Amino acid sequence: MMRSRFDEQLMKLNTELIELGAMIEYAIDSGAKALTERDLALAQRIMEYDREIDQKERDIESLCLKLLLQQQPVARDLRFISAALKMITDMERIGDQAADISELVLMMGATPHATELEHIPAMASAAIGMVKRAIDAFVARDSGMAGAVIEADDEVDALFDTVRQELAQLIARDPSCAMQALDLLMIAKYLERIGDHAVNIAEWVQFAVTGVHKGEERA
């Protein structure tokens, strides 16, 4: 009976993680949309939405601690819950960075963009895909899927390098665009960091499945 209740709570943890994942995916996507469409009202909503993400993270943390206290978990369960605790920290930081992007959009205001925004939305799309697949890998206990997320980070990094080069060229052509270019570069940097957090999540998925964390392998 006790184990049955424990398994139900583990399923609830899965569900809560999926919900938090959907929340941060929405925040990233909306931040990118607010940028491309210069939608300041949407940017403001995403900044406020970050409080809901923080609350969800606290709720999941509380659930994890209850699971640890409820019953002495077997090694596999302990890895799963420990990984979830690590993952939600990265997920909460992703929410923070989506809010930071929206804050920059507000600072930029309704001023027309000095350059075509092609690669920043592509970065946002790639980062969202990484986050989604990392969480799906956790739910499916799929180490191979997690490995594919880690490899996908190269695409986000390559896009960041492209954005950086394009913005440097923009500043060289028209120094009056420097402030906006720096804001756009910072947005791209936040998206790159979101990709890094997705990699962290994927590495914790691999730990949950295999019992080995990539960082330990490197040590």
Cβ neighbours, 10 Å, residue 167 = 23
Place of tokens 């309704």: 110
Q: For the whole prediction, is pTM greater than 0.85?
A: yes
User: For residues 53 and 108, is the Cβ–Cβ distance under 8 A?
Assistant: no
From CA 170, how far away is CA 165, in angstroms rounded?
9
Q: State phi, psi for 38 to the nearest 5 degrees.
A: 50, 45
pLDDT at residue 117, rounded to an integer? 81
Alpha helix ranges (H) inside 109-176: 119-140, 143-173
**What average pLDDT values come out for the chain (219 residues) when binned by 10 residues?**
76 93 95 93 96 96 89 79 94 96 92 82 95 92 95 97 94 92 96 97 94 64
Helix axes 143-173, 119-140, angle to 10 degrees: 170
Cβ neighbours, 10 Å, residue 1 = 5
Cβ neighbors of 117 (< 8 A, separation 6 or more) are 35, 36, 184
pLDDT at residue 71, rounded to an integer? 66
* CA-based R_g, the chain, Å: 19
pLDDT at residue 113, rounded to an integer? 81
